[in-house]
Chains A and B, each alone.
Chain A
């Protein structure tokens, strides 16, 4: 079974703090993704990576950065957390394929920024 784990289920941070969200997958997937989920907006792609040290911006990258130093690990960084970054953050992974492939998701991190 594919397993995608996220470092925390719940986090509470203060405005201005630097926040690290970690994601690890155990299926040797090339692709890794970070989404945020907000009511009425669905899942929106923040960043994704298709290889170690490679990253590409998604639809809403502002205020975020990422790091992929190892194939199995993809980190999302909030350089200076703001209240509008309060959200559910979901990590996913998939194979890099010539055809369509499904993404496997972690359980999510509920981040609250006060």
Chain B
């Protein structure tokens, strides 16, 4: 049973527009959430995280929103750039050490 779900396998966005990637989780013990970005033939790289005591965290063009009551988080990328085209993984942790990953969303930013 998938505890972290990314229901959109892919997303296509025009350059300059907002990209919104979504993630749902089922385990209420999760208290730390991360987004990773992965290019083909490379390992995932950390993008941004959020603790359950916050509902928003920003880092430049990237913002993560957390809605604990809905068990939902989202990653906003504004403005989207062609170099953002990659697979984005949502991950969650209950103990700070082990991560549970979603299936990933392929983002394509068209120029």
B103 touches which one: A41, A100, A110 (CB < 8 A)?
Answer: A41
Task: Convert A33-62 into 0s and 1s, putting 1 for each residue whose CB lies closer than 8 angstroms to a CB of B.
Answer: 101000011111100101000000010000
List chain A residues, Cβ under 8 A from B6. 42
Number of interface residues of A (CB under 8 A): 31
**B9 interface hit (Cβ, 8 Å):** yes
Inter-chain CB contacts under 8 Å: number: 62
CB distance from B38 to the nearest CB of A (A): 8
The 23 sampled A-B contact pairs (Cβ below 8 Å) are A4-B43, A9-B41, A33-B98, A42-B6, A42-B89, A44-B101, A45-B100, A58-B98, A90-B43, A92-B43, A94-B97, A96-B97, A97-B97, A98-B96, A99-B96, A102-B34, A102-B46, A103-B46, A103-B99, A104-B46, A105-B44, A106-B43, A107-B42
